[in-house]
Structure 1
Amino acid sequence: GGAAPPVVARAGNVTRIAPPGQTYGALSPLPIAALRLEPEVAAQLGRLGLRRVGDLLGQPRAGLARRFGRGLVMRMDQAMGSAPEPVSPARSPEHFAVRMTLPDPIGLVEDVMAAVDRLLPRLCKTLKDKGKGARRVMLQAYRSDHAVEAVEVGLARPSHDPQRIRPLLEMKVDEIDAGFGIDMLRLVAVQVEPVHDAMAVGHLQAGAAVQARLNNANALDDLIGRLGARVGLDAIRRIQPADSNIPEKSQKVLAAAWSKPHEGPWPKPSNPRPLLLWHPEPVHAPATPRLPKTFRWRGRDLVRQRALGPERIAPEWWLDDPNWRSGTRDYWVTDTEDGQRLWLFYAHGGAMSPGWFCHGSFA
């Protein structure tokens, strides 16, 4: 326990201990990630242009605490040596593995799965007793010629249920080359996470609704796991709404296995948004803010019929986004005589020349 030495700062794999009186100079050039902040806080600071520890040390503490929480100020105090940071010895990592030595070498998929059916419940019981669930499970096959074959599967959610892990292993077992026979199998939970069994409580009707949602979630997780066994979990994505007025940033793409589904309906935009969105395409029209009656887009001459707007969207001033160097945009929902409904905007010009662009279509 107690306060740290004058300064102990970690950046990457380098550990530096600053001499007394040189704490500020040693910390200032380090990235803010060296303070071990929450990723969300570090991202917010980066968007505001605060990327080095020295950028923070010169800011008013009360303002930092009010906007980013006391955790940021505490990390700064710990780095400067003015706040204690007790260090406890690391606990030995838990190891979850079971194995089976076979009396005679085996080579058939059915025989391997029969052995898995004996190993998997043992592994899952150990995980359950520790309140853990497997996220990645490896099956190792030790051949009689001393070679080792291995397959690995991933789950969308941690689980200690054999019925959810077995189908994934069965999909991968045929990738094992048994050679002249397998004489030992080993099943390892190579990545585990805490897991909590959800229980339906309250009235019977409410409990049934909760159980139905759990069943749907489990079915989706199982589907993600099965697809991941074929194409890899990182290849399966889901789209989530994002809190941004910038059209291109109104949603975010996340790995399905490492994120939770969005709950409830998607937030409705304050103004209409197109069904299809693409990179802004130039529209040939006079470079004035007034919506043109006729314009040329994608090699076709179009005539405006009706229009709704303008909706003004300004770029994020704290970011240098190459896609928004044309400055503030005025968006119009524009109907044309040939039946199209397009999303046009006039860029007022920033680092680029002003002009008209087409950003999407409502049909």
Structure 2
Amino acid sequence: MYWAALLPIQLPHSASPIDAASLGTWTLQFAPRVALCEECVLVELDASARLFGGMACLREQIEHGAGELGAQVAWAPTGLGALALVRCGFADGFQSPWHKVLDKLPLTALTAVAEHQATLARVGCRTLGDVRSLPRGGISRRFSKNLLTALDLAYGLRPETYVWLSIPENFHARLELMSRVESAPALLFGAKRLLLQMSGWLQARRLGATAYTLRWCHDVMRAKDAGTGGELVIRTAIPTQNVEHLGKLLAEHLAQVTLLAPAGDIELLATEVFPIVEESRSFLPEVRRRGASTALALERMQARFGNECIRRPLICSDHRLEHGQLWSHGNVDKLIKAFSYAGYDLPQPTWLLIEPLRLVERDNRPHYQGPLQLLLGPDRIEGGWWHRVQEGNEEVTLNVQRDYYLALSPHAGLLWVFQARLAADKTAWFLHGHFG
């Protein structure tokens, strides 16, 4: 398992530290399994690594965002172990065997052990490893069962269960500024932190904001006519989650605002949100996002699933349209090459029937959902004497002589029909394709 623990801390240049609930809401954009455990936020990340390009990319995104929000991050194979690491200021529990990493931590790393720190210290225990080396029977008799349970959970000897957070229906975050702000553009510094939280909420809900509201509260030592505060509504043309874009819009609007009194608190609300439709013009969106070419992706697929899994369409120089395209197995480098094709005088149909359908003929006119009106033609196709296939015990030549027409049906629309010139009935008409 791959767990992350995020601990809110007070940065020297920041306002009040973010609370665990807001940090947990922001973390929901990375994984659905997020839990509040004491003063930390625990996240199980195994199921989400692939969606973010691997665990290394996911770690980088979480660490970058947590740093901007004012949170410290630790990584470990267990949730309670990650909490112990982040409390002690350690970042990575995967550098060495897990039990050796935990054995070095002090008694204060786990709350259930820290409750008995005085008693354990009198028997010579200074680290979690010292406590683990004591007889389990003696520990269970002299201490609460929570101590052994916490050790087993941290070391991965028992399965962990948590109450997972749910995504709030609405976004509303508040921030107390480190000092009183007298100019509106100076509010942007703290507002960016709230925008980052809102972006995490939007991504977790698969939404985009078209309007959000920034409010500020005036200091209690204000003029009587200044009011309790003010607000600014920012609107966007399309739903967006982009923090940089939202921040630039806010900066432009704040530059035109004059504060009537110093502000001490700000809050941000997502006023209008809409679902974001994620569109991609590629069948391989993840590969294209990483910058790899389609040829490299096809090579990996062919190497993984075999040569038969990849086929390429070949447009052949054959006047018979049903034989104008073939599916061939070949090297990947041929898949992205251009192919020549035969030219035709009439427009070609969008949909081609596997077998031509013989039409009813009345008063020397072909019918298909009504009498057909011949618009263009004839376009004579003749060839295939060289094309022989085996049908049972006989070898058949696929030679054709046809006069093609573009026809209009009263109910079926434009059709592609032909009159067979080699048939026993030389007036036989056939439907061969539809136009879409």
Q: Say yes or no: TM over 0.5.
A: no
Whose Rg is larger?
2
**TM bracket, shorter-chain basis:** 0.3 to 0.5
